[in-house]
């Protein structure tokens, strides 16, 4: 009998607990909204538009910033680097995002550049494959396009080159395609070399690194932050893949992530961009890119 009563009580308590939790949730939300209106002095809307490569980083940064300042709403849109430059010039967006340096035609129109991060890509092979040390961007392209298929052709061992790439749509692959696979022929026409069909595809920087670390004659590419002793990075045209060389602009397979504003930023936009250079925000940057602490 005692048992029966006990279970009846248990059911009641559970039901009550659920009710309290449900009501509690609603209450909290209302409280939060209240804080939005009064607690924080910083308010405003910021629109960031442009490079789809910068987009994931912008979204992550924006989310963190909005958590800190509930009064600010940041909209992050894509469109491409050129669209980002245009949007900033025309004032369609508060911040234009670009994953390349400004072209000559875009300079001198009053755009202020804020280099928020640098995207660098290391070309790596197995630590034991020491025959080749230095590659040109063209050689890298030919390897990944399947035109160079044996390490012998580069002065290494007589062994097939095993190419490892990333999946379609990955940001690292996008950057690699843009910086290495795209080229201009003698007439200045733009082409994009196609990835060799028997390239292994791995879905993360870590998986590419492990694959390369376990296959002596493989070659792959990694975001710079993922380099470690298990793989060996090639020098590209004589320059080692290090954060210093990338910041100095010496290392070729890299690109800047720019925030562009029409004139010096003000108000919430200024607060946001200043915060992006804080060590808190640069820690987020450093997860995938080269940090640029001021």
Partner 1 sequence: MEKIRRNKWRDLLEKVIEKALLVSAVAAILVVLLISAFIFAQGWPVIQKYGLGHFLFNMEWKPLADPVRFGILPMIIGSFMVTLGAIILGVPLGVGCAVFLAEFAPRRVNKVVRPGIELLAGIPSVVYGFWGLVVIVPFIQQNLGGRGMSVLAASIVLAIMILPTVINISEDSIRAVPREYKEGSFALGATHWQTIKKVILPAARSGIITAIVLGMGRAIGETMAVILVAGNATVVPGSILDMVRTLTAHIAIEMGYAAGEHQQALFATGVVLFVVIMILNSMVLLIPRRAGDE
**Which residue ranges make up the site for partner 1 (CB under 8 A)?**
1, 4, 7-8, 11, 162, 167-171, 197-203, 207, 210-211, 214-215
Residue 39 C-beta: closest distance to partner 1, Å: 36
By CB atoms closer than 10 A (0-12, 13-18, 19+), residue 110 is exposed
Residue 15 C-beta: closest distance to partner 1, Å: 9
Q: Whose Cβ is closer to partner 1: residue 217's or residue 272's?
A: 217
Report helix, strand or coil for 261: strand
Cα 132 to Cα 157: distance, rounded to the nearest angstrom: 9
What HEC string does 81-101 produce?
HHHHHHHHHHCCCCEEEECCC
CA-derived radius of gyration, the chain: 25
Q: Whose Cβ is closer to partner 1: residue 92's or residue 201's?
A: 201
Residue 80 C-beta: closest distance to partner 1, Å: 13
**37-54 burial string, b = 16+ CB within 10 Å, else e?**
eeeeeeeeebbbbbbbbb
Q: Whose Cβ is closer to partner 1: residue 8's or residue 248's?
A: 8
Residue 91 C-beta: closest distance to partner 1, Å: 27
DSSP state of 214: T
Q: Whose Cβ is closer to partner 1: residue 50's or residue 171's?
A: 171
Q: Whose Cβ is closer to partner 1: residue 69's or residue 232's?
A: 232
Residue 112 C-beta: closest distance to partner 1, Å: 30
């Amino acid at each position: 009998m005692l048992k029966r009563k006990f279970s009846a009580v248990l059911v009641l308590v559970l039901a009550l607990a659920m009710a309290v939790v449900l009501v509690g949730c609603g209450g909290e939300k209302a409280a939060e909204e209240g804080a939005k209106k009064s607690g924080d002095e910083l308010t405003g809307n910021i629109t960031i538009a442009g490079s789809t490569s910068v987009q994931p980083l912008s979204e992550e940064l924006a989310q963190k910033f909005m958590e800190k300042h509930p009064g600010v709403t940041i909209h992050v849109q894509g469109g491409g680097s050129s669209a980002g430059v245009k949007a900033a010039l025309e004032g369609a967006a508060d911040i234009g995002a670009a994953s390349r340096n400004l072209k000559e035609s875009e300079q001198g129109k009053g755009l202020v550049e804020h280099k928020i991060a640098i995207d660098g890509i290391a070309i790596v092979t197995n630590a034991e494959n020491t025959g080749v040390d230095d590659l040109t961007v063209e050689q890298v392209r030919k390897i990944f396009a399947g035109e160079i298929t044996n390490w012998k052709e580069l002065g290494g061992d007589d062994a097939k080159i095993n190419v490892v790439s990333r999946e379609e749509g990955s940001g690292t692959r996008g950057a690699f395609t843009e910086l290495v696979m795209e080229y201009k022929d003698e007439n200045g026409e733009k082409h994009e070399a196609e990835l060799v069909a028997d390239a292994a595809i791995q879905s993360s920087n870590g998986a590419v690194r492990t694959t390369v670390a376990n296959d002596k004659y493989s070659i792959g590419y990694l975001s710079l932050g993922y380099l470690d002793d298990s793989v060996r990075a090639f020098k590209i045209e004589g320059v080692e893949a290090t954060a210093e060389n990338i910041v100095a602009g010496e290392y070729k397979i890299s690109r800047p992530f720019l925030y562009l504003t029409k004139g010096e930023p003000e108000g919430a936009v200024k607060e946001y961009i200043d915060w992006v250079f804080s060590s808190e925000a640069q820690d987020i940057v450093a997860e995938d890119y080269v940090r640029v602490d001021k």
